[in-house]
Structure 1
């Protein structure tokens, strides 16, 4: 079934690179998987060139049989999980992309809803979380949407905007020359290796677009942000980061001049969920995280928003 899902993803995306991001894996891994499938069948399923991947006649035949099987398996999993959820009694199933507001939000939810069993799922893919909410496997999802890279939002979900435009900062070694300035110009990082996680929806495309608009073409590395941190402190790379990131002794967090990188923070829920309550607790948790991070606090002060910081209309304006 894993092989069939991969074939359908490649056909739908039209390229190995895009399909790999949707599947949450690296392009080399997907390329190797496709090669093994084709070797086992003894024929090519896709023709590949610079413009992408197109199914061969045999590929179209295989896909016509694979799609119903993949759809039936997805429906079976969804129905089974929904049945399990009904038997487990009351609870709140929370999904989230990475956020430093998440621990405070969970703490507040458990205090606000003492009788509820609050479960958590963290995923790098906002699109995957939204699909899971729509399928009834999660009640609510807190996600970020990279500017210029709209999420695929299923119909019927409720939405609240937490922050309309949250600037993304940059993390760099404490002794990096650019770290001496309170605000960093992209041009000062033109010769650095930029590291980005391609499995995070929109992050790779968003960064490439911003760098191209600035007229710079630095070398880019693919990897998760845990790996990035170890390279950053050695001065081997720089990386985008959330403004709520707290500086370390060996790592500096700086805003970028003009705030070219940004995301929108969104809360989605199934109909019938107490979205206003969830939103209020998330707003308070985000406010705590924002004020705890000195670089973000200073950025807000410069924007004239720190004095009356409150997530919602005030934060949406910054």
Structure 2
């Protein structure tokens, strides 16, 4: 016989009542039926759970063990049931699901998972280069969630108003033409790129300053930086006009190689944020899980990143909610 939650409730009732007769009354069972059920439970657990006496029943050592676990499991299951009901009502009551993010594959992965899991809830998306703009829209109630990135350990915007959870932390890789002489290396030292032109996407965070500081530590100042959209960055790298910085989860692209930088001098933290008092807040745990699943899938698609992660387990998809 497999142990079920109803069996734990039965054991708890017997212990609380201190008598099979009183427990049977509380459970709405006949006393012989309760006795027979208890015997089946005891056989499945390997021994007696109660000592019977003239004054009632008392838990055995095995019974105390089972009761200790039941006191944890039963409230946990009740809380799970309540959360599931709240979650279902929240999704069903939302007229739409509004996602915002900077340009990148993780936003698409999040949209796909939300739309698949909740086909009856329309999903809308808004993209912007500015993480401050996105955070402001969430704080003002114009977006439900924002998927953004920050450099290293930098704080995201609106921390006093929004809740932020880490989706994953990636090293910053370099992308260069597949025919570039350095593309054959497994990792590239930043100082070996001192003579290159660079390309990167715009943004209002501190990444530009962090990149400049990393170059100074490597002994050079970038000759030039073409700040443009993602597609143009890829093109400039493919034709050898520039090398670019990219997330380690950057998808495989013909004519392009992505390689880790030696010593991982730059890192990028993916975050998802929401307002704790918004109607969508009850769905935050699920939304965070969808975002992490999208990040894990993006990491799996990159062979160079998969290999890199084996030696750097502190990076990659966040395994559990982490407050920021």
Please give the alpha-carbon distance, in whole angstroms, between the structure 1 residues aligned to 2:109 and 2:268.
20
Stretches of 4+ aligned residues off by more than 6 angstroms: none
Residue 263 in structure 1 maps to residue 268 in structure 2: yes
| Deviation of the 1:149 alpha carbon | 4.8
Q: Which residue of 2 aligns with 1:298?
A: 307
Q: Which residue of 1 aligns with 2:290?
A: 281
| Deviation of the 1:108 alpha carbon | 1.1
Residue by residue over 1:191-232, the C-alpha shift from the partner in whole angstroms, topping out at 9 and shown as x without a partner, is: 001122343532322211111122221212232132222221
Please give the alpha-carbon distance, in whole angstroms, between the structure 2 residues aligned to 1:315 and 1:261.
23
Residue by residue over 1:216-250, the C-alpha shift from the partner in whole angstroms, topping out at 9 and shown as x without a partner, is: 21212232132222221221210100111123331
Residue by residue over 1:80-119, the C-alpha shift from the partner in whole angstroms, topping out at 9 and shown as x without a partner, is: xxxxxxxx97111100112322222211101222221111
Please give the alpha-carbon distance, in whole angstroms, between the structure 2 residues aligned to 1:279 and 1:288.
14
Residue 245 in structure 1 maps to residue 211 in structure 2: no
Residue 210 in structure 1 maps to residue 214 in structure 2: yes
Range with bigger deviation, 257-266 or 105-114 = 105-114
Aligned-partner SS, 1:268: strand
Q: Which residue of 2 aligns with 1:169?
A: 173
Give the 3 Å change call, closer, same or farther, for CA 149–219 of structure 1 in structure 2: farther
Please give the alpha-carbon distance, in whole angstroms, between the structure 2 residues aligned to 1:157 and 1:304.
29
Gaps of 5+ in 1: 1-87
Q: Which residue of 2 aligns with 1:136?
A: 141
TM-score by length of 2: 0.64
Residues 62-77 of structure 1: matches in 2 within 5 Å?
none
Please give the alpha-carbon distance, in whole angstroms, between the structure 2 residues aligned to 1:201 and 1:174.
30
| Deviation of the 1:303 alpha carbon | 2.6
CA contact (8 A) 2:251 2:298 kept: no
CA contact (8 A) 1:170 1:253 kept: yes
Residues 40-189 of structure 1: matches in 2 within 5 Å?
90-147=95-152, 149-153=154-158, 155-163=160-168, 165-189=169-193
Please give the alpha-carbon distance, in whole angstroms, between the structure 1 residues aligned to 2:191 and 2:320.
31
CA contact (8 A) 1:93 1:119 kept: yes
Range with bigger deviation, 150-159 or 112-121 = 150-159
Range with bigger deviation, 110-119 or 284-293 = 110-119
Q: How many residues of Structure 1 are paired with residues of Structure 2 in the alignment?
A: 225
| Deviation of the 1:258 alpha carbon | 0.7
Aligned-partner SS, 1:313: coil
Aligned-residue CA RMSD in angstroms? 2.4
Aligned-partner SS, 1:168: strand
Gaps of 5+ in 2: 1-92
Please give the alpha-carbon distance, in whole angstroms, between the structure 1 residues aligned to 2:320 and 2:94.
38
